[in-house]
Amino acid sequence: MVTKCPVERDYFTDHTVLLDPYDYFEEMRPRGPICQLETHDCLLVTGFQECVEVLRNPIDFSSINSLASSAFPLPFEPKGSDISEQIEANRDKYVGGDLVVTFDDDRHTNVRSLISRMFTPSRLKANEAFMQDYATKMVKEVVAEGGCELVSRIATPYVTMVIADLLGVPDEDRKLFEAEIAKGQTVGSIDNPDKPTDTSTLEFMGTFFYRYFQERAENPGTDLLSELVTATYPDGETKPDLMTLISLAVFMFAAGQDTSAKLLGNALRYIVDVPGLQQQLREDRKLIPWMLEEVLRLEGSSKATHRLARRDTKIGDYDVPAGTQVIVAIAAANRDPRRWGEDANEFKLKRPGIREHIGFSRGQHTCAGAPLARVEVATILNCFFDHTSDIRISEEKHGKPGARHYQFEPSFIIRGLDNLYVELDPK
């Protein structure tokens, strides 16, 4: 049986949970790795092993609600022990139902095969050259000014331009994309619970990618968009239609910039706030990848993802009927003391087995852009170390060490700083 959680705080709407989701998850943990929420008709999974089990079981768990979340009732009445056909029949009623992150079965396999074309070694190598030049330019500017608000001045525009370069967005359109993304609503907003995922930014970018793909279809070149236009699915014969390509490009653009921007902000906060860490990294840059993995575990960009049981199944020994919505609490799993030890809530450089974290999810929906995110964040951190002698978090804006106050984006899906004011001393 599933343990009940008699908790008053609402994961989806309570601002105290927004500010400190980890305290909330620790309240849940004594009630077992799986519990039934009282505030919503869904399960909360906080255990590492149990989260991995769900994420690696697409046969029994659909991703259809990964963007819509488990906050709302199903748009249909589930009937029987296998609701797979019902899910597909109601796909158009789900937010993001046409995006790869919500796809199951062959549809997911087909579109995922297209994503692999984006992250070939040669493309990433060329993209790395761009990000190095762009990061250097940006960092030099803010160092000369003595500091900046990192999220809006560096993180968001930097990762936006990196993914724009990878996808081949024309130079003249890149600033338009940057401006639209900057004003877009946070995914999983708790400030607008009736509409937690605003698609206006995706629709804006979709009009541009429609034009790009049309142009490549008429005059194909050697860039990524041209390759996607001529690509086939794994059967070697079937080609994706235009709307599939547009949805894929838009999603990769939006998801790619969001994850990396949040990671950069979270990483820099830890670099400054963990005593001695900044100096360690300056003296040995080979430690930067270790630091990033620990930040991904301890303060990753994703709090949770969501699944819908498509068949009568189990999580561990717990029975889960078809039609059950499940919150896969990635942030809780990555701090599960059963997996990470009693110091699971502490930062530990070179933590054993750190690459086993699920900061980029697990299974067939593992973040395809994870290699890109790691490289682009490491690249700009190296630039900061190259051009500064010291990085500090503004005490005027965020308080003194040990008594910091930070503002986080209002989301039950994303974990990221709304702003981060830093002071930079030049070399």
Q: Is the pLDDT of residue 79 over 90?
A: yes
Q: How many helices (H) and strands (E) does the chain have?
A: 18, 11
Closest CA to 396 of 414, 422, 417, 427: 422
Three-point CA angle 418, 159, 367, nearest 5°: 90
Q: Is the pLDDT of residue 321 over 70?
A: yes
* Chain Cα centroid distance, residue 34: 23
Is residue 10 within a helix (H) or strand (E), and if so which, with residue range? none
Domain boundaries, the chain: 3-121+151-263+295-378
Closest CA to 108 of 234, 249, 236: 234
What is residue 333's predicted lDDT score, i.e. its pLDDT? 98
**For the residues 264-279, what does the mean pLDDT come to?**
97
What pLDDT digit, counting tens, does each position of 23-65 carry? Answer: 999 999 999 999 999 889 999 999 999 999 999 999 999 999 9
What pLDDT digit, counting tens, does each position of 186-222 carry? Answer: 665 555 555 545 567 778 889 999 999 999 999 988 8
Cα distance from N-terminal residue to C-terminal residue, the chain: 60
What are the distances in angstroms from CA 83 to CA 40, 65, 311? 21, 14, 6
Whether the pTM exceeds 0.75: the reply is yes
**Residues with Cβ < 8 Å from 51, sequence gap 6 or more?**
45, 328, 329, 330, 332, 333, 358, 362
Q: Which of 67-71, 99-103, 346-350 has the highest mean pLDDT?
A: 346-350
Q: How far apart are CA 181 and CA 160, in angstroms?
A: 8
Q: How far apart are CA 75 and CA 52, in angstroms?
A: 27
| Contacts within 8 Å (CB) and 24+ apart, 282-289 | 282/385, 285/382, 285/385, 287/349, 287/350, 288/378, 288/381, 288/382, 289/374, 289/378
Q: How far apart are CA 345 and CA 298, in angstroms?
A: 7
What are the distances in angstroms from CA 421 to CA 179, 180, 257, 288, 405? 20, 22, 20, 21, 12
Q: How far apart are CA 241 and CA 81, in angstroms?
A: 33
**Residues with Cβ < 8 Å from 185, sequence gap 6 or more?**
192, 197, 198, 200, 201
- DSSP structure class, residue 228: H
Phi, psi of 42 (to 5 degrees): -160, 165
In DSSP notation, 148-184 reads EEHIIIIIHHHHHHHHHHHHT--HHHHHHHHHHHHHS
Q: Do residues 76 and 86 touch, judged by C-beta distance below 8 A?
A: yes
CATH architecture of 3-121+151-263+295-378: Orthogonal Bundle (1.10)
What pLDDT digit, counting tens, does each position of 230-250 carry? Answer: 999 999 999 999 999 999 998
| Contacts within 8 Å (CB) and 24+ apart, 94-98 | 94/64, 94/65, 94/67, 94/68, 95/67, 95/68, 95/196, 95/197, 95/199, 96/66, 96/67, 96/68, 96/197, 96/199, 97/64, 98/243, 98/247
**Mean residue pLDDT across the chain:** 92
Band (422; pLDDT cuts 50, 70, 90)? very high
Q: Does residue 425 sit in helix, strand or coil?
A: strand
What are the distances in angstroms from CA 51 to CA 72, 109, 183, 277, 334? 21, 22, 33, 30, 10
Q: Which residue has the tokens 């990524």?
A: 224
What is residue 200's predicted lDDT score, i.e. its pLDDT? 75
**Residues with Cβ < 8 Å from 394, sequence gap 6 or more?**
147, 421, 422, 423
Q: Is the pLDDT of residue 2 over 70?
A: no
Of 166-175, 316-325, 377-386, which range is least confident?
Answer: 166-175
What is residue 78's predicted lDDT score, i.e. its pLDDT? 96
What is residue 189's predicted lDDT score, i.e. its pLDDT? 59
What is residue 186's predicted lDDT score, i.e. its pLDDT? 60
Q: Is the pLDDT of residue 172 over 80?
A: yes
What is residue 259's predicted lDDT score, i.e. its pLDDT? 85
What is residue 179's predicted lDDT score, i.e. its pLDDT? 83
As given in the structure block, the two tokens for residue 28 are 């849940």
What is residue 3's predicted lDDT score, i.e. its pLDDT? 58
